[in-house]
Structure formats: structure tokens, C-alpha cells
Chains A and B, each alone.
Chain A
């Protein structure tokens, strides 16, 4: 038997490639909450967020080879796919209308690993501080692009700032945020330059 709880994410993906459903369940248990939360933040629609979450995990089941543990963590891989799919959805005309009807939901707590939850919340607190420490001129375009699902051209228009400036501020802002995260004890993975 695989010791699922102690297996690394990379181990679990190898097992998923061999149709090991319990490994898939463990990956969902570890990252399903973050995936769903991101989809909710971007889509502001419960049904759409559930659909995207389902799609992201089914994609992993069908194409585990797309995850490369040398290039980054499984969580960032899943979140990147979640974000991409969510943004595609909100950029469609139909869902823009749906998005206007914002919904929220209470999340159940049963079954979630309390240690993971506490850890995630502690990390979220630190991340919030790191984001708050960014200069507003960088924080705003990052939030509008990431959580608002806007293109940088739209962000430039919204902030009445040249497109080139927005591109640079987002890029520099992300690098600066990385430094803030490292300094606060959080170590983002990702291939070194």
C-alpha cells in the first residue's frame, strides 16, 4: 500500500499515471480547496467554480505527464490551469453576464485535514502581508489581472496608465513579491534562473 499521507506530490502524480485512484483522492484532498477557492475568487459563481475544479482534476487524471515536478510545485501547476480555465470562461460574453450575479457559499469543514487548513490559513495571512507590502502601483494591476481576469490592456485602460508601464509593473511586482515571500519565510518553488 502507498502511504498516501507521507507521499510527495511527485510520487502521487506517478501513481496517478498508473490509474491509482486513492493517489488522485489524496491530491484532491491536498489541493482541491485551493483550486476551488481560486476559481471562486475569479468567477464569483459557485457552479462555474465547481465545474472548473472538476475539469482541472480530470485533466490531471487524463494527462499526468503534463505536470513536470522539475518546473514547479503541483499546487502551482493546478492553480495555473485553474486560473487559465477560469479566465477563459469569464472572458466569454455569456459568463460576463453571469458574473454580475455574485454568489458566495459557506464551505463545509468536515473531512478537511485541520493541520493543512491551519497551515494554509497561516500562509494566507503571511501572503496577504507580503502583497500589502507591495507598492500600490504594482499591487493594483496584479490584483486586477489575477483576480479580475482582465488583460493587461484592460488594466491599463482601467488605471489610465500606458500598457508598457502596466506590463513592467506586473513583472517587477511579481519578482518583488517573490522576494517578500522568501523574506517572510515562504519559499516559492520554481526553476532557478
Chain B
């Protein structure tokens, strides 16, 4: 995985601003203000109201990612090692994997109430299946020779999990999280649009869009984009750290 440098990121950001300015000039309507008028608003709000919404959304999405990893990794490792169990559950997992989890939003609200927990649960659910599948496949695909050589050093099932299967799955876990970030933020955005008073989804739709405050709305869009970008970048760094041997 290529790790982007600060220079490349800065160039990308400048290109993005140029594109935005061009589009704003071309469209020339209040719904698409220029970044030159949005950025000062963003700067002002992010150290105040918007900052709080940003923080709440960040906590929700990171908690969801961690919860999904903690739940999915052990199950994936077990399924990867137990062929019969994996064969049994595999059809079910492929059906569940394909369901767009956002449609379960009302069900989750009814079951768990309108709370932080329901939002986090829903995002976790999406990432859970992504991670489960990659961890399972990764640990099932490890070469037998490698497993045998570690067994010959005295490793039983638990030590194999600790020293071989788990570390071997880390890059795949990170890839799965990276792939899920986009969907997670989309679900977060939708889940935060109603029945809450905090979060970037709430800020963008309720506080800004519905009040026709377009500059504030774009400040919110920038904030959620920034969150996505920071998460991607964090995964990038972690991926780089764990794949130094490649």
C-alpha cells in the first residue's frame, strides 16, 4: 500500500480547492458557495459548535470500528481454523454480508432505542461482516508449512492464534476497515440526521441545510470529509507500520 506524503496530500488539497472554485463560479448559485467564503466559516465553527459535532461523530465511528474488530476477529479466526464450522456458516454469512445494513436502521432503533448505542451498533454491523470475512479467509489460507513449523516449536492452538493467525490477519483487518470507512460515514450521516442533537449529520441537515445556511452546511461537509480523510490516513499509517516486511 502506497503511503501518501504530506506534499502529495497538500497538492491534492490545492487541486480540490481549484476544482471547487471553478464549480462555484460555473454554477453561480447560493447552493454552491466558493471555498473562499466557506473556509473562514469552517475555521470559526470548528473551534466551537462544529467542533463538538465533529468530536461526537468521531467518537461514534471509532467506537464502532473498535467494537466490530473486537467482535469479528475472534470469530473470523475460529471459522478460519475450523473447516466444518466454516462450511456450515458460510452460506449464512454470505447472505448477511450482502444485506445493506442501513435498511435495518428502524429495527435497530426499535430494539435498542434511539441512542448512541443504536448508531454505533449499526455502523459496527457493517464493518463486522467485512472484517469477519477477511480474517476468516486470511487465517484459512495460511500455508500449512508455516503452521507446522511453529507447532514444532511447541505452539498449541492458543499460541498459534496469538503468534501466527492473529498477526497474519492484521493487514487484512486494516484493509477491511479502510474499505468500510466510506460506508460507515455514510451510515453515520444518515443515522445522525434525525432523533439526535449531536453529530455531523445533524449539523449538516438540521442546523444548516434546513435553515438554508449553505456556508455552514459546507463547513459541515468539510468536517465530515476531514473525518473520512483522517481515518483513511490513520489506516494508511498503520498499514505502513505492519507491512514493513513486504
Whether chain B is bound by chain A comes out as: no
Interface positions of A (Cβ within 8 A of B) = none
Interface positions of B (Cβ within 8 A of A) = none
